[in-house]
Amino acid sequence: LARLGASSPSDAAANAALMNLPGYRPATRSSMRRSQAGGASRRSSSFYVGTCHEEPEQLDDWNRIAELQQRNRACPPH
């Protein structure tokens, strides 16, 4: 099986089956290029995608009930 994974079969059906296996990753052009280049593969492995800093969730709508009260004052419920 290890040999099958390493050989990256070109057959589409086999490839689709492999894609469903946990952790299987087909070789990409750049990873092949890197493995040929040897040491260069360490270029980005330390800069993992988890490091991107996202915008925090927006929760600034703390006036909705106060606005309702103002509306009720202007036009009292009847």
Residues in touch with another protein (CB under 8 A): 19, 25, 28, 30-31, 43-47, 49-55, 57-59, 61-66, 68-69, 72, 77
Angle at 75 between CA 73 and CA 78, to 5 degrees: 105
Least distance from another protein to the Cβ atom of residue 47, Å: 5
As given in the structure block, the two tokens for residue 21 are 């296996």
Give the chain's length. 78
Which C-beta is closer to another protein: that of 1 or that of 75?
Answer: 75
Least distance from another protein to the Cβ atom of residue 3, Å: 20
Strand blocks (E) in 1-78: none
